[in-house]
Amino acid sequence: MVIRGGLIAACLLILLGCSSATQTTLYQRLGAEQGIAAIVDGLLYEIEHDERIVHHFADSDIGRFRAMLSEQLCDLTGGPCQYSGSSMQESHTGFNITLADYDALVEGLIKVMQRQQISIADQNALLALLAPMYKDISYR
Amino acid sequence: MITRIVVFLLAWLPAMATAGSKIIATGGVTNIEGNAGGGIVPWAVINGYASSDEWSATAFASRVNVDDFSLNSGGVAFSFDNRWEFSYARQRFALESIGGSLSQDIFSVKYHLAGELLYTAMPQISIGVQHKRNLDFGLPEAVGAASDKGTDVYLAASKVLFNQVAGRNLLLNGTLRASKANQTGLLGFGSADNNNYQLLFEGSAAVLLNYNLAIGIEYKQKPDKLAFAAEQHWRDIFIAWFINKNVSLTGAYVDLGDIAGQGSQTGYYLALEATW
């Protein structure tokens, strides 16, 4: 009985060991700094070619936008960054981002993630982090 | 007539292939009553891909084939602002083994009250009204139906939860319906001794395998007001393929229970939807 209990405990430990060894952050699974940079650049490309939303970026400092979004995605996905930009409410006030604008941006992001062959699970993990920002970003 | 309209619209599809901004699959498919939803349950989602300030039109044709009956449905819907959905559907229910058929028209309006399917913690919540009118009331009247017209009201809540089942997104829907329809109205509405509205639950759960493919189950509670034959709840297991934002195909295995005294009616459901 004791031996059997010990065996079960040992098996559990091995399983736990395995699962913690394969546990990675979303940041790592997306390809770390390079992967995030590719997503952000891909998204900038999509925005530039999307007549539905490109006008919102007419007066934006694209260099700063790129740096801040990279930093934010790195921070959100568990990477070694601390987002230093302004809050989502602050940075979107006056833009009156509509539901259709938000949908268009999400659609752009999905296109980029599909193109980069990010797994569905990791795509959904990233969407789960970004989708709730709608309330801070829209209609301000 | 309605079949001809659907065929006409489908034929023109390639020439009119534009769609709204909503994310693919988030308009659901069109249920047999002409409302955005699953196959048998209306959901809180609005038909088509119209996001804010956009409009969308959809057309659908579907067929349910069970042991002793078949149901052909077809219709059109118009939606605006991801808020309003107006639809019309015509159903023809053929009594394959008994002979004859029953038809009804369904006029519906849905209004999206609150929440956003993908983006808010609160589920998307919509209220809907369906006005149904029998075109053949002889048989429903003979088996005890009180009226050839009926109006259902429902409240639906739908939510997509990201990254839930093996990294896939999960769609959950619950619908509360007030109805006195016999076999969804095909056998009329109410009866002499039971003509009250009943509150009924309908539910759906679907896993989005990817952006284009969903598999799920549905359950629809039904009243049982006619004395001549017991009416049972409906269930189905479905797979929906959103080929693109213009066309979707849905197939299901359905269990409609006993209908008009004919036992255990199971079979298939097939639906085609076109969206602009």
Q: What is the pLDDT of residue A3?
A: 54
Q: Is pLDDT of B19 > 50?
A: yes
Q: What is the pLDDT of residue B12?
A: 59
Q: Where are the alpha helices (DSSP H) in chain B?
A: 2-12, 138-142
Q: Is pLDDT of A13 > 60?
A: no
Chain B touched by A98 (CB under 8 Å)? yes
Which pLDDT band holds residue B263 (cuts at 50, 70, 90)?
confident
Q: What is the pLDDT of residue B96?
A: 86
What does the block give as tokens for A70? 């990279």
Q: Is pLDDT of A127 > 60?
A: yes
Q: What is the pLDDT of residue A53?
A: 94
- Looking at beta carbons, which pairs linking A7-13 to residues 24 or more positions away fall under 8 Å? none
Q: What is the pLDDT of residue B273?
A: 97
User: How close B238 comes to chain A (CA, Å)?
Assistant: 21
Which pLDDT band holds residue A20 (cuts at 50, 70, 90)?
very low
Domains and CATH numbers, chain B: 2-275 (2.40.160.40)
Non-local (6+) Cβ contacts of B36 within 8 A are B27, B28, B29, B30, B42, B43, B45, B46, B47, B48, B58, B77, B79, B85, B110
User: How close B26 comes to chain A (CA, Å)?
Assistant: 11
Chain B touched by A24 (CB under 8 Å)? no
Q: What is the pLDDT of residue A99?
A: 97
ipTM of the complex: 0.90
Q: What is the pLDDT of residue B13?
A: 57
Q: Is pLDDT of A120 > 60?
A: yes
Identity of the residue in B52, B119, B167 whose CB atom sits nearest the CB atom of A124: B167
Q: Do B52 and A134 touch (CB under 8 A)?
A: no
User: How close B244 comes to chain A (CA, Å)?
Assistant: 13
Q: Which helix (H) or strand (E) holds B129?
A: strand B124-134
Q: What is the pLDDT of residue A17?
A: 47
The SS3 call for residue B181 is strand
**Cβ burial, residue B237 (10 Å; 0-12/13-18/19+):** middle
pTM: 0.89
Interface of B with A (CB under 8 A): 20-23, 51-54, 82, 116, 118-121, 162-163, 166-169, 209-211
What does the block give as tokens for A108? 């752009």
Q: How many CB contacts within 8 angstroms connect chain A with chain B?
A: 64
Which pLDDT band holds residue A19 (cuts at 50, 70, 90)?
very low
Greatest mean pLDDT among A59-63, A83-87, B11-15, B172-176 lies in B172-176
Where on the phi/psi map is residue B25: left (φ > 0), alpha (ψ -120 to 50), or beta?
left
Q: Give CA angle at A73 (A72, A77), nearest 5°.
A: 120
Q: Is pLDDT of B261 > 90?
A: no
* Chain A residue numbers touching B162 (CB-CB < 8 A): 124-125, 127-128, 131
Q: What is the pLDDT of residue B9?
A: 61
CA distance B35 to B37: 6
User: Which tens digit of pLDDT belongs to each residue from B187-242?
Assistant: 999 999 999 999 999 999 999 999 999 999 999 999 999 999 999 999 999 999 99
Domains and CATH numbers, chain A: 25-137 (1.10.490.10)
Q: What is the pLDDT of residue B16?
A: 56
Q: Is pLDDT of A117 > 70?
A: yes
Which pLDDT band holds residue B45 (cuts at 50, 70, 90)?
very high
Q: Is pLDDT of A4 > 70?
A: no
* Chain B residue numbers touching A135 (CB-CB < 8 A): 119-120
Chain B touched by A50 (CB under 8 Å)? no
Q: Is pLDDT of B124 > 90?
A: yes
Q: Is pLDDT of A7 > 70?
A: no
Q: What is the pLDDT of residue A21?
A: 45
User: Which tens digit of pLDDT belongs to each residue from A28-73?
Assistant: 999 999 999 999 999 999 999 999 999 999 888 999 999 999 999 9
User: Which tens digit of pLDDT belongs to each residue from B141-184?
Assistant: 999 999 999 999 999 999 999 999 999 999 999 999 999 999 99
Chain A nearest-CA residue for B20: A100
CA distance B261 to B264: 9
